[in-house]
Copies of this chain bind each other. A is one copy, B any other.
Amino acid sequence: MSLPHAILIALLEKSSSGLELTRRFDKSIGYFWSATHQQIYRELGRLEREGQIRAIPAPQPARGKRKEYEVLPAGRAELIRWKAVQDEPKRPRDPLLLRLRASGVVGTEGLEPELRRHLDLHRAQLAAYQEMEKRDFAPPEDTERGRVHHLVLRGGIMMESFWVEWLGEVLAGLPGQPPAGDEAAPGVDYADYADYADEAAPGEGEADRTDTG
C-alpha cells in the first residue's frame, strides 16, 4: 500500500495538479512506481479528506478546473513514519518468465518474437536511462536529493541491464535444439524431472524427510 506515499513524495518534490501528477508518474517517478490518473484522483481525494494534503485555494474553483495540491505537515509526518517501515521484498510476478516456463511443457513456438520484442524495449529503456544519467548527473553530486535521485536512476539502469543480459542469454539458449538428439532424451522421465526441480529446496539440506522419498 504505497501509492499515497508515492503521491506525497511527488507533491513534496513539487506541488502539482492531478493531471500533472499523472504526467510525472509517466516519467521519473513512474519508472519505479506507476499509477493511472484514476488511481491518482482517488488517492488525492482520500489524502485531502485525511488532512495530509490540501488543494491550494483558487480564485474560482469549479468542476473541470485545474486544482493544485500541496503537502500539509501531517502528510510529511506520515511519509517520515512510513519511510522507516520494514517490509519483505516481494516475489516478482512476471508473465514473460511464466511464458518461458510454459515452453517447457507446451513448446517454444511463438515465444521467440515476444522475447525479441521485450529485448528491444529494454534496450531502448536502458539507453534512455543512460542518456538521463549522462545529462543530469555529473560526478560530484552536491545535494542529498541529487545523490538519491542518481542512486534511484542507477537502479533503473542496472535493472534494465539485467533484462537485456538475461533475454540475450535466453535467446541464445532457447532455439538451440539439442545438438544431435531428440526431444526426449534417454533415461529422463518428464514427471520425475518436474518433481526433482520442484523439490530441490534451497536451504533445507539437513532435514531428511522420510515420507516423500
Contacts and interface: CB of A to CB of B under 8 A. Distances in A.
A12 interface: yes
Interface string A86-115: 111111111111111111111111110010
B143 A183 contact: yes
A148 to B, nearest CB: 4
B197 A91 contact: no
A97 to B, nearest CB: 4
A123 to B, nearest CB: 5
A50 interface: no
A54 interface: no
A150 to B, nearest CB: 8
Contacts of A195: 14
Contacts of A125: 202
A148 B103 contact: yes
B104 A144 contact: yes
Contact of A213 (B124, B169, B178, B184): B124
Interface stretch (A28-36, A40-48, A61-69): A28-36
B193 A105 contact: no
A51 interface: no
B142 A13 contact: no
Contacts of A90: 34, 94-95
Contacts of A169: 151, 154, 158
A172 to B, nearest CB: 10
Most chain B CB within a 10 A radius of its CB, from A97, A109, A127, A169 = A97
Interface string A174-213: 1010100101110010110111111111110100000111
For the complex of A and B, list the 10 residue pairs with the smallest distance between their C-beta atoms, beginning with the closest. Answer: A128-B202, A84-B110, A13-B194, A104-B148, A142-B185, A34-B91, A104-B145, A127-B213, A32-B97, A12-B105
19 contacts: A9-B105, A14-B198, A27-B198, A27-B199, A32-B98, A83-B102, A83-B111, A104-B149, A124-B203, A127-B211, A128-B202, A132-B200, A136-B197, A142-B181, A143-B190, A145-B194, A151-B174, A155-B170, A159-B162
